[in-house]
Chains A and B, each alone.
Chain A
Amino acid sequence: MSTVAVPKKRSIWDGGESPLKVSYGKLMMWFFLLSDAFTFSALLITYGMIRYMHPTFVGRPAEFTFSIEYWPIPERVYEALPFITGHYPLIFVGIMTFILILSSVTMVLAVEAGHRMDQRDVEKWMLWTIVGGIAFLGCQAWEWNHFIHGEGIGTKMVDGSLFTGANLFQNQYGPPAFADLFFFITGFHGFHVFSGVVINIIIFYQVVMGIMAKRGHYEMVEKVGLYWHFVDLVWVFVFTFFYLI
């Protein structure tokens, strides 16, 4: 059998090449984030559906009072600030949003510094990112604390008693499902922020010890950066669907 080498055009998918032009670790981080996006989508869509199933308050927002009969207006629930009394609707979550966006910016600056192999800059920007993450967690801890303990004389429950604050069974703001979803969704996001901070600290430690410089690249910073940006991305959606709408 004569063998004539037929020059066959090789596709990049025929092996020996990396068609997606990223490392294994980065690709798997992307796929993990995709699966995580599904998880958060499911939680937020569930929130939308359960909220839609409850009656909404009819009337002007100024006349709104808490009741277990209808879904609360978000800007009336989240209107407290630490150390100050009074009504400042959504100011605190606004601050939290800016903290998270800024920590995302410092993260992308750390990644950029990693491309230049500039260890000092990577250290500086990663440290700011960690500070931002911890600040966000602190804000969330305060917000949860305020949400759980509540304010005022409380709201009439099904059995006629007054209840202030919130737990998984009853809350002063609205139907029980409202507080359940608050704890679930912001809690799950907060846990992501927490794990992001922990991973950031580990990578920061490795950068400071010169492990990345010895390795010759800062790809781990890129990977943790992807995760951190994703956490910010989720907050963008939580902010809209939980606090604005």
Chain B
Amino acid sequence: MAHHPNLSPEEAHKANVRNIWKVTAILAGITFFEFTLAFMMAPGMARNAIFIILTIVKAFYIVAEFMHLRSEVKSLIYAIIFPLAFVVWFIIALLSEGSFIIDYK
């Protein structure tokens, strides 16, 4: 939960709720944009790249704002984020493995 040291509890409550709806609008907006893009843009690497970037943006907002990871201490943020490097490794590993299998099939 975001901390507002200078606000009264009532004002802090209002600020929090406003922030929640702001993030909701961002998530809904991005999803709607992805949706239109699925019909307006020809399939291909460029479209896939845009989809993946927008997905990561959405993931950032969900984890940072809805799960409040942004307002946790740094050590906890790193403890959650750094292990995800294994996912990056796994993507690279299976991409290289996948192209190997295709070549030898």
Contacts and interface: CB of A to CB of B under 8 A. Distances in A.
Contact of B101 (A30, A53, A97, A244): A53
Interface residues of A, number: 48
Most buried by A among B34, B51, B65, B90: B34
A98 to B, nearest CB: 7
B17 A109 contact: yes
Interface residues of B, number: 48
A179 interface: no
B70 interface: no
Contact of A52 (B54, B63, B90, B102): B102
A22 B97 CA distance: 40
Contacts of A107: 66
A122 interface: no
B41 to A, nearest CB: 11
The secondary-structure label for the interface of chain B is helix
A53 B98 contact: yes
Nearest to B98: A49
Contacts of B34: 240, 244
Contacts, number: 114
B63 to A, nearest CB: 7
Interface of B: 1, 9, 13, 16-17, 20-21, 24, 27-28, 31, 34-35, 38-39, 43, 48, 51-52, 54-55, 58-59, 62-63, 65-67, 72-73, 75-76, 79-80, 83-84, 86-87, 90-91, 94-95, 97-99, 101-102, 105
Given A20-B76, A108-B65, A229-B66, 4 more contacts: A30-B80, A53-B102, A90-B38, A109-B20
7 contacts: A34-B83, A52-B98, A52-B102, A53-B98, A229-B62, A236-B59, A245-B51
